Amino acid sequence: MVRIGKGLSRSTDGGRSWTNYYNTAAFGTEDIAAIAVRGKEVWVSTAHSVSINGSDLPEGSGLRYSSDAGETWKSIPQPIDTKNIDTLYWN
């Protein structure tokens, strides 16, 4: 199984102690694929592994957003491309 990461952790005391969000209601057992932070805003993309033709590959599972530095989280389902979104038609 490909492991992208194992959860998100945060410290509010300069790194003396940490809270991990892995296996919580907000994150479940999803791995963290990317993170962006600006002030108290935190955006996290989540993923898990899927087996396709004998290979384990990462698959996005959605986004998590916090506007209060990780105190509370909102989930956004994985964005899915619509049909032909990357197709250009020339006249």
Beta strands in 1-91 (DSSP E): 9-10, 19-20, 31-38, 41-52, 55-66, 74-76
Query: In whole angstroms, what is the distance from residue 90 CA to residue 78 CA?
Result: 30
Provide the pLDDT for residue 79.
Answer: 82
Query: In whole angstroms, what is the distance from residue 14 CA to residue 53 CA?
Result: 45
**Where does the pLDDT of residue 48 fall: very low under 50, low under 70, confident under 90, or very high at 90 and above?**
confident
Provide the pLDDT for residue 2.
Answer: 46
* 38 CB neighbour count, 10 Å cutoff: 7
Mean pLDDT value across residues 80-89: 66
pTM score over 0.95: no
* 89 CB neighbour count, 10 Å cutoff: 5
With a pLDDT cut of 90, the percent of the chain lying above it is: 57
